[in-house]
Structure 1
Amino acid sequence: MTDTEVRLRTAHTAELTPAELTAIRSLLDDAFAGHPDGAFTDADWDHSLGGVHVTAWEGDALVGHACVVQRRLLHGGRALRTGYVEAVAVRSDRRRRGHGGALMSVAERYIRGAYELGALGAAEEAAEFYAGRGWLCWQGPSSAFTPDGIVPTPDVDGWIYVFPLDHTPLDPTAPLTCDWRDGDVW
């Protein structure tokens, strides 16, 4: 496919057609196949549903996706309404053309407008990309609020990034706890 104009579309999960959902899942499966952190799982897919999807299209071809779902992160004695970014991917033959930045610009606009904080769990190869956009690597210890109480998640320390907003005071060296979900909690 030659370079054509890229069209961004935003839609809540409920507004996506079955064909669009199938295209998104296929893109994510392909993008994460052979990934060092593992393939894109059914739990990962479940984590990306119920929020706002940003899709990038070249004609009828889906070339990129990101979504923002609501979560609660505990920090400084508060449960922060958080726009959590999930399922960010660009088709392998369309990378390094600005699509990821375009997708994230829209996701960040949603975070600024509706949440107290933005957060995501970064893959190693994407950390520099997020840092370059103003996302901060969380320096404090992470944990998850599980059915068994608060459980440390040291395996993700250094890979959690937050998108701070002026109206939410943060201490990035303090503990940060995510709400519970099946699969990877972060």
Structure 2
Amino acid sequence: MIRDICVGTPGSAHDAAVFAASDLYRHTERHPQATTDVERVQVPLLVAGDPAYPLLPWLIKGYSGPNVSQEQAAFISHLNGSRVKVEHTFGRLKGRWRILAKRSDIHHSFMSTVVAACCVLHNICEMEKQRFVPPSEDSCNEGERQPRRLQCDERPPQAVLIRDTLMQYVSNLERQ
């Protein structure tokens, strides 16, 4: 199920810029979330992001760089596992509504309405447990991919502490 959407920016917009303009970002930045204690660090409900997103106290992303430790690599693996459902949701959304998987001739001023409608229809299909048949590989125009993502290097200290604490927590669980 898709719980929150932010439509209206062009496909060439950087993910982090779209995120920073979203209601989810503005709301979560203004309204602190409930926390739970992990290894004596207060950890809020987290959004899992990929490397394109900034590391924030409530938005967790993996470690990057050439010198990732074994513990950090294990944490990245766990984090990526939690993001798989999101990737599958996007795959199913684009698989159901092929207009989202390719360049469209629809006027750009109407495209955000099309995207929002596809998200609503996707949720209805999911609620009704409609069978999903993945499209064949050659039915998608692979030549029109989104631009490469840029990496965001800003790291607030509280976000670093939360990520490091969670990485240590996951590492301790694996040793048991």
TM-score (norm 2): 0.26
Q: Which has the higher contact order (CA 8 A, sep 6+)?
A: 2
Pair member with larger Rg: 2
**Higher-helix-fraction structure:** 2
**Higher-strand-fraction structure:** 1
